[in-house]
Amino acid sequence: MNPLLRSWKTVRRLRRSEQLGADRTPPVTLRMLADRLGLHVSTVSRVLHAKPDESHRAASSATVERIRRLADELGYRPNPHATSLRTRRSNLVGVLVPRLSDIVLATIYEGIEESAGEHGLSTFVTNTRDVPGIQRARTEMVLARRVDGMIFGDAYVDAEFLGEVAARGVPFVLVSRRAGDYPSVTCDDYLGGRMLGEHLLGLGHRDVAVVAGEPYASTGIDRTGGFVDAYADAGVEIPRHRIVHSRFDARGGHEATEALLAGGERPSAIFAVNDFAAIGAFGAVRDQGLRVGADIAVAGFNDTPLAAELPVPLTTVRSPMHEMGRRGIDLLARLLQGEHVESERLRPELMIRASTHPTAS
Amino acid sequence: MNPLLRSWKTVRRLRRSEQLGADRTPPVTLRMLADRLGLHVSTVSRVLHAKPDESHRAASSATVERIRRLADELGYRPNPHATSLRTRRSNLVGVLVPRLSDIVLATIYEGIEESAGEHGLSTFVTNTRDVPGIQRARTEMVLARRVDGMIFGDAYVDAEFLGEVAARGVPFVLVSRRAGDYPSVTCDDYLGGRMLGEHLLGLGHRDVAVVAGEPYASTGIDRTGGFVDAYADAGVEIPRHRIVHSRFDARGGHEATEALLAGGERPSAIFAVNDFAAIGAFGAVRDQGLRVGADIAVAGFNDTPLAAELPVPLTTVRSPMHEMGRRGIDLLARLLQGEHVESERLRPELMIRASTHPTAS
DNA sequence: GCAAATTGCCCAAACGTTTGGGCCAAACGT
DNA sequence: ACGTTTGGCCCAAACGTTTGGGCAATTTGC
């Protein structure tokens, strides 16, 4: 570039930044580095960008050194908007969850964020409250932000909406819930349900009920399925009216349990497909004047940190929530590299406590 | 522009997008619209951008109509990276919280996200686990993403780090916790503590203890302060050893309560500065073979959804978490407009339940 | 009927990167 | 001594917007 022109441009830029007001330090750009070093901006870019194969071809090692030193002396941070604009890659991923105030999803998100950081990705996370209209709207919103890919923690098992997203060529993975044949990272919910079923069978419970969660979520479906199958294998058929759907929160578990306890003869054990619903079940049991553990067994799923602290500690199935989040990003990262990925199903662990087993811890 | 040149460019662009692979539909740009309509890109930009004052000067109403129609027929979405690059405004805000798996912060974040959407802002949220080093690192990270402003939900009361951030000219507001004179949206924690103190005094409790939370968080400090002052006003001095710091989770509340119960004569009531710590206190009380409510009163703070569902419903102070998040963004938005803003202190509400008052619901 | 104002649009530069392709000089091969 | 490689750097276009200025044609004012 014509050196005269260059210095004129520099003058203009300085004047401009003065007008902006004093306190907000203007971010340092490649051009500033290049100007101060008497180099071309492309040289600086190459040196600061590609480590092994490019940088030594781009400049002499002395120059490389000069550039590096100035860059971190001035605290150079590439402008991600410029980079994204140029490369058509934003290193952003959108994450949809039903609600972050559900500790399960929040913990999964912690795993997502942790792993995303390691992959150089940033995440937009938003709540959809499991409402399809909101899922659509929020998906549009994050796609408008030009994310590279998405993670859905709120998949409907019918996968209708996901089909549309896939048709648009957006890379995504599912966490927590599975749907269709899309790549997902889930807990082995079916196995977890089975384990709990076998546990209750072993304790002699024959008349049991299930607070089954929302009918559109694979988590509730699979946990219930495993539980029911465990009983079927033992020759016990759980009647239809012993299985009631519910919201996934405490209130929902409370209501569902109320319904279950309303009938004439009550079950001797209740399996709620997540811990919050189980806590709601505690409330309903209490309202009936019954005692959890002594009069009726209650079990949950997920082993959230509260489970062990409850006045009657809760028997539950530990699901690797944090790990699910981490693997979710790992899968997505590989997807973004163009690799083909397989779904993963993580192993649950049965935690036996006093809510089903009076002599347990 | 020379029409010949323009069409040649179009050809190049088409060829290029073919190479990308079939499925990923190339996003529609201003130029595509302009080319198809035989207009200049700047005209299209103006029409699609400024509503009342500009658009009618920018084009005839017929043209405006044509542009609008094609834009949403093709589903035009402005590329935010290009826009941010040009305008130096990203409409992004960074949110730091200790941990989203804490339902209090998660709920605050729901408010933040909701209100952010209404303001046309998007949020990056990240967990810092209250570790200063991580706070710094994550702050750098979101600033590198060129956010317009920040919301801290993890402020240390000493405000040292916040001072550095402020010195760099970054606009921010605090939620949940206050610090220094920086604009914040908090619950009136002091008042909440007072209300609880007066409640327990009214029930005749003279020998009380406090599970006070982390010493660096204004929430715990102010709640404890209000509580202690209520007792002081009644002529009761709470001895130093009755006040123990703790983590904010169930485990932390458990450990702190164990310590409190270890001594010779035990208090007749325990105030834990948040619900999770209170649940942990439940666990510790249970481990001592005591019954919450009957043998010892326990109160919490925040009124999380579980409080009412516990086997012994928890007396607590309702704090407007969702609203705090909303107001936080509102404040930040005004700050970004250059307005001057004042901190807000939201009103708490006492929820009396059986954990302190055996005959309550 | 002429100057002035308005309407309706176009031009071009800029935001900060990345990247394919140059170009000049020095080192190398024979 | 003379072509060829390589080292070290620069050039310029492009990504998709926004925005201060134009400029021609039409309308308005008098």
How do residues A235-257 score in pLDDT, each as one tens digit? 999 999 999 999 999 999 999 99
Asked whether the beta carbons of residue B292 and residue A283 sit closer than 8 angstroms, the reply is: no
Of A307, A78, A345, A164, whose CA–CA distance to B250 is shortest?
A: A307
- Chain B residues whose beta carbon lies within 8 Å of the beta carbon of residue A24: 169
Q: Which domains does chain A have, with CATH numbers?
A: 3-78 (1.10.260.40), 90-187+322-347 (3.40.50.2300), 189-319 (3.40.50.2300)
Instruction: Tell me what pLDDT residue B142 has.
Output: 95
Chain B residues with CB under 8 Å of A309 CB are 250-251, 254, 279-280, 282-283
Q: Is the pLDDT of residue B9 over 50?
A: no
pLDDT at residue number B184: 98
pLDDT tens digits along A314-334: 999 999 999 999 999 999 999
Average pLDDT on A257-280 reads 93
Residue A14 CB contacts under 8 Å (≥ 6 apart), including other chains: none
Q: Is B235 exposed, middle or buried (0-12, 13-18, 19+ CB in 10 A)?
A: exposed
How confident is the model over B205-231, as pLDDT tens digits?
999 999 999 999 999 999 999 999 999
Q: pLDDT above 70 covers what percent of chain B? A: 91
Residue of A152, A86, A109 whose CA lies nearest to A332: A152
Task: Output the pLDDT for position B10.
Answer: 40
Put simply, the answer to whether A103 touches B101 (Cβ < 8 Å) is: yes
Partner-chain residue, chosen from B100, B308, B312, that has the shortest CB–CB distance to A311: B312
Residue B15: what pLDDT? 35
Closest CA to B95 of B155, B23, B181: B155
What is the rounded average pLDDT of the residues B274-286?
94
Cβ contact A85 with chain D strand, < 7 A: yes
In this predicted structure, the answer to whether residue A227 has a pLDDT above a threshold of 80 is: yes
Q: Does residue B10 approach strand C to less than 7 Å at its CB?
A: no
- Return the exposure string of A34-69: e unless at least 16 CB atoms fall within 10 Å of the residue's CB, then b: bbebebeeebbbbbbeeeeeebeebbeeebbebbee
Q: What is the rounded average pLDDT for all residues in chain B?
A: 90
Does residue A63 lie within 7 Å of nucleic acid chain D, judged by its CB? yes
Interface residue B360 vs chain A (CB under 8 A): no
Give, in degrees to the nearest 5, the angle at Cα A186 between A184 and A189: 135
Distinct helix (H) and strand (E) counts, chain A = 14, 12
Task: Give the residue-averaged pLDDT of A281-289.
Answer: 91
pLDDT at A38 over 60: yes
How far is the C-alpha of A307 from the C-alpha of A312, rounded, in Å? 9
Give me the pLDDT at residue B16, please. Answer: 37
pLDDT of residue B118: 95
Which pLDDT value is given to residue A52? 61
Tens digits of per-residue pLDDT, A136-195?
999 999 999 999 999 999 999 999 999 999 999 999 999 999 999 999 999 999 999 999
Nearest by CB to A282, which of B124, B283, B311? B311
> Nearest residue to C7, CA vs C1'?
B57
The pLDDT of residue A55 is 61
Q: What is the pLDDT of residue A2?
A: 35
The answer to whether B13 CB sits below 7 Å from nucleic acid chain D is yes
Asked if pLDDT for residue B6 goes beyond 70, the answer is no
Question: Which nucleotide shows the minimum CA-to-C1' distance to residue A76?
Answer: C16
Q: How does residue A358 score in pLDDT terms, banded at 50, 70 and 90?
A: confident
Residue B136, classified by CB atoms within 10 Å of its CB into exposed (0-12), middle (13-18) or buried (19+), is middle
**What pLDDT was estimated at residue B221?**
98
Task: Check residue B145 and give its pLDDT.
Answer: 96
Whole-number average pLDDT of chain A: 90
Contact residues for A329 (Cβ-Cβ < 8 A; gap 6+): A93, A111, A112, A115, A116, A119, A121, A151
Residue A38: CB less than 7 A from any atom in strand D: yes
At A360, the pLDDT band (50, 70, 90 cuts) reads low
pLDDT for B192: 98
Average pLDDT over residues A101-124: 96
Contacts of A88 (CB under 8 A, 6+ apart): none
For residues A300 and B60, the model is more confident at A300
Closest residue to D18 (CA to C1') is B86
d(C-alpha A103, C-alpha A321), whole Å: 10
Calculate how close chain A gets to B275, using CA atoms only, in Å: 11
Reply yes or no on whether the pLDDT at A223 is more than 90: yes
Give residue-wise pLDDT tens across range B21-56: 345 778 999 999 999 999 999 999 999 987 666 667
Q: What pLDDT sits at residue B19?
A: 33
CB proximity A312 to B under 8 Å: yes
Tokens coding B229: 């002052």
Beta strands, E only, chain A? 92-97, 122-127, 149-152, 172-175, 184-187, 208-211, 243-244, 269-272, 297-299, 316-318, 344-346, 349-351
- Strand C nucleotides, any atom under 7 Å from protein beta carbons: they are 7-21
B347 touches strand D (CB under 7 A): no
- pLDDT mean over B85-97: 97
